[in-house]
Amino acid sequence: MARITMREAISKALWEEMERDERVFIQGEEVGVWGGTYAVTKGFYDHFGKKRVRDTPIAEAAIVGSAIGAALTGLRPVAELMTINFAFVAMDHIVNEAAKLHYMFGGQFKLPLVIRAVSGGGRQLGATHSQTPDAIFAHFPGLKVVSPGTPADAKGLLKAAIRSDDPVLFIENATLYQTKGEVPDDEDYLEPLGKSKVQREGDDVTIVAYSKMVPAALKAAEMLSEDGIESQVIDLRSLRPLDMDPIIDSFKKTNRAVIAEEGWRSYGVGSEVSARIYELAFDYVDAPVKRVAQAEVPLPYNATLEQMALPQVEDIYHAAKEVIHG
């Protein structure tokens, strides 16, 4: 175990997998000579060389499309999109090609492909560069969508994604890159794709979160604990496949749930999870499920307005109080 940042955990996962398997390579804008716009691939170009650390033109359809082609030949590309907002210009290749080729050709095509992208707001980048559109990508069968909330999961899940034979969209959050945590040193440390994880035990309320909302939910849980309320915090980690088992187990005990996401509420992750709670555990419902999410506005540049729109620890805290006290 070592206490490292989420950025270091992601970097280590990439480094170790590239050392382990010659077929793994990375490509994207400024991943090479520059060292990655978020410095995740710093030092990679010098160590692995230009064949395996490939700077690309600013052309996302070419980045994802050519990664798909390379994956079809048996390589294991990790394509980096500088931010998930640029995934929209590669949307066809993500949802129409990566998600469908295996099924559509009767299982002949295999795509051991990872697409890394940075999601989330809070850095005053304005409406087009601050979105959290994760749920959109989780809509499509055939794609796996993973988003870690802790440094350890970032390493274990990214390594598992690279070793997976399925296409995985791996969503990171830039405001979590400096978060520190204990991360196993083991080069074969893997976390399973498609499994939620209990991050905190509690009997009074279930708080479901992922990515940036995991540390927020854990902070809210500490505040609630001071009020005598014990929260069970469940980290989705994977949006597709969606593992409801730990959530339903928890809900049957707490009978109350709050779902926190950074993206918009409408048609979002909270919508899906709460619908499933009602479908799978209706008899256990003691209070309406609460969703904590971003205000439904294009995110503004102004720092005060931006923070007003983004979900905060206090929102989770108050939502939990409401599901308990009405």
Partner 1 sequence: MKKEEYLDLYQEMVVIRRLEERAAELYQQGKIGGFLHLYIGQEAVSAGISSVRQPQDRLITAYRDHGWALSAGIDAKTIMAELLGKKDGCSLGKGGSMHMADTEKNFWGGHAIVGAHIPIAAGLALGDVYQGNNDAVTICMFGDGATNIGFFHEGLNLSKVWNLPVLWVCENNQYGMGTAVDRASAVSEIRQKAEGYGMPNERIEGMDVMHVRTEVDRILKKIRKDGGPYMLEIMTYRYSGHSMGDPERYRDKEEVKRWEEEDPIGIFRKYLVGNEIATEDELDQQDAEAENVVEEAVAFAEASPEPTVEDLFEDIYVEPTPVEYRGYALENESEGR
Residue numbers annotated as active site:
60, 129
Report strand pairing: 53-55 vs 76-81. unpaired
Site string for partner 1, 19-48 (x = CB under 8 A): ------x-----------------------
- Angstrom distance (rounded) from CA 162 to CA 116: 11
Which residue in 9, 17, 28, 93 binds partner 1 (CB under 8 A)? 93
Which window, 36-44, 65-73, 80-88, 304-312, contacts partner 1 (CB under 8 A)?
Answer: 65-73
Instruction: Report the C-alpha gap between 234 and 272 in whole angstroms.
Output: 15
**Rounded Cα distance, 232 and 127, in Å:** 33
Q: How many helices (H) and strands (E) does the chain have?
A: 12, 14
Q: Which of 43, 49, 141, 298 contacts partner 1 by CB under 8 A?
A: 141
User: Packing angle between helix 269-281 and helix 245-254, nearest 10 degrees?
Assistant: 60
- CB 126, min distance to partner 1, A: 24
- Give the footprint of partner 1 on residues 262-291 (CB under 8 A): 279
Report the residue from 2, 33, 39, 104 that binds partner 1 according to the rule CB under 8 A.
104
Stretch of 55-63, 205-213, 251-259, 314-322 contacting partner 1, by CB under 8 A: 55-63
List the strands of the sheet with 238-240, edge to edge. 53-55, 24-28, 76-81, 114-119, 168-173, 144-146, 238-240
Q: What are the residues binding partner 1 (CB under 8 A)?
A: 25, 51, 54, 56-57, 59, 61-62, 64-75, 77, 92-93, 96-97, 101-110, 141-142, 144, 164-166, 194, 241, 279
